[in-house]
Structure 1
Amino acid sequence: MTMRVGFVGAGRMGRPMVERLVGAGHEVRALGRTAEARAALAGIGARPAATLAAAVADAEAVIVCVFTDAQVREIAPGLPPRVPVVVHTTGSPSTVEELAGRGLPVIDAPVSGGPHDIAAGRLTVFLGGPGELADRVEPLIACYADPVLRVGPLGSGQRVKLVNNALFAAQIGLLAEAVRLGERLGVTEEVLLRALPHASSASRALTGVAARGSVAAFAATAGPFVGKDVRIAREVAAETGGGLGALDPLLGEG
């Protein structure tokens, strides 16, 4: 069944989502703040909108893929009541809980992967929220994601994603230490990154670093995204009266 979808945040991650939704036959009204952005959205078959109100008008579901909690809170007052809202933004669980407290039927659905995964339909999504609401929005998310993992009540998706990114960032920290060890032993980073992905120390973090050619190059690309999530993970962990334990020393400043 096709749906009318309002889309907010059609950037690096959101635009390929829009393209997949359009390709599946859905009518997507996507917010574009500039004429250039709106032209690009029209080029992939979406109906570009210059305002939030126009993007969500008559929507049967709204998908939000902005960068920060602050941006989610900024647009929240303009979201239509009684229309399911999918929040892909990684942030504090309290943000989606706050939206639900305002009466919005919201699902938190942070993602793991990049634009290439979205284009291939293999993005990983951690879905948190009521089962009936998840049933309504999962067919949309499945246009660009596989697997879509239901991980518990509202906010659970954010909690799983924050643990994931804390662990991922710690693995990058371990790789940086391993590179320094290699250099002391007379082995270059280039050699290590060519050899280790084929050995028992292989991981997705190592694969990503090897593809970029160095820990520094990978950190320059992923740092703004992972760093934001690490800061949130620390804040959420502190709310429980604890920290990130053995992960913390490996995470840098975040």
Structure 2
Amino acid sequence: MRVGFVGAGRMGTPMVRRLVDAGHQVNVLGRTAEKRFAIAELGAQPVAGVAEVAAGADAVVVCVFTDQQVRDVCLHDGLLAAMAPGSTLVLHTTGSPNTARDLAAKANGVGVVDAPVSGGPHDIAAGRVTLFVGGDDGAVARVKPVLDAYADPILHAGACGAGQLVKLVNNTLFAAQIGLVAEATRLGAQFGIDEGALLDALTHGSSQSRVLSMMASAGSAQGFIAAVGEFIGKDVAVVRRTVAELGGQLGILDAAVDAGTLRIT
């Protein structure tokens, strides 16, 4: 397929590499000479503007850092308007479901699929990153060959915006679990238990979870939080803003989320 790509950064770079390796023709936005050189090294075609990204593309993938950047690229910079009817826009950025829905309402024949990512660059490079997907069946089916290049599983959760809603719940639980483990290590410290030994021991008990294993590998709760703080802080801010926009409440999860995120400095 002919694929346009915006956002060849920490997460986007391994996506581009796998798309190229899977045989897709990939045009990637590179706003500087240095970035265009790096894109060419991946085997993709560097282009300087969003019109060139969209030109002839069956699908355009956007993998930028914030929800506002999605709106800027797609609306202010004109990416969505430059896309041909029948093509599909894929949004990997974690953000508001309302952004995906607003873009779909303005799409004029372009399919919009929200597909926020759960995992890291190493998962993308291995072709096993998780995608929570929202969009109509036809649009999701059209972009499946693109997503298959780097994602497994691809979990179709419902209509446009549903992928973002699932990701927001996922991120709330993730942050809450970090907070719970951090509180458990605080309790252990009160009892004089070495934190590293405690975390390792808990991974073998009924309290075991993926988050606990990750924090045990880091050696301490604070060490793990320091490593992922930038991303967790951003995601929690998105969660709180979006829950408020949608009229929901975090309930008992709110205190657990605070227990983890308040330690981010």
* Interval containing the TM-score (normalised by the shorter chain): over 0.9
Give the letter for the 2:201 counterpart.
A
Give the letter for the 1:76 counterpart.
C
Structure 1 regions of 5+ residues with no counterpart?
A: none
Identity value in percent? 58
Q: What per-residue deviation string (whole Å, max 9, x for no partner) do you get for residues 85-142 of structure 1?
A: 0000000000011101112421000010001111111110011010011100011101
Matches of 1:110 and 1:36, distance apart in 2: 28
Tell me which stretches of 4 or more aligned residues in structure 1 moved more than 3 Å: 239-242
Matches of 1:198 and 1:8, distance apart in 2: 42
More displaced, 22-31 or 235-244? 235-244
Query: What is the aligned counterpart of 1:91 among 95, 118, 125?
Result: 95
Give the letter for the 1:166 counterpart.
T
- Residues 1:178 and 2:184 are matched in the alignment: yes
Instruction: Please provide the CA RMSD for this pair.
Output: 1.4
Q: CA deviation at 1:57?
A: 1.9
Q: Which residue of 1 aligns with 2:36?
A: 38
Count of aligned pairs: 252
- Residues 1:224 and 2:230 are matched in the alignment: yes
SS in 1 for 2:202: helix
Q: What per-residue deviation string (whole Å, max 9, x for no partner) do you get for residues 170-202 of structure 1?
A: 000001100101111111111122222222211
Structure 2 regions of 5+ residues with no counterpart?
A: none
Matches of 1:191 and 1:237, distance apart in 2: 37
Q: Which residue of 1 aligns with 2:7?
A: 9
TM-score, normalization by structure 2: 0.91
SS in 1 for 2:28: strand
TM-score, normalization by structure 1: 0.95
- Asked whether the 8 Å contact 2:56–2:84 carries over to 1, the reply is no
More displaced, 216-225 or 159-168? 216-225
Q: What per-residue deviation string (whole Å, max 9, x for no partner) do you get for residues 203-244 of structure 1?
A: 111122122222222212222222222222222222343410
Q: Which residue of 2 aligns with 1:26?
A: 24
- Residues 1:196 and 2:202 are matched in the alignment: yes
SS in 2 for 1:251: helix
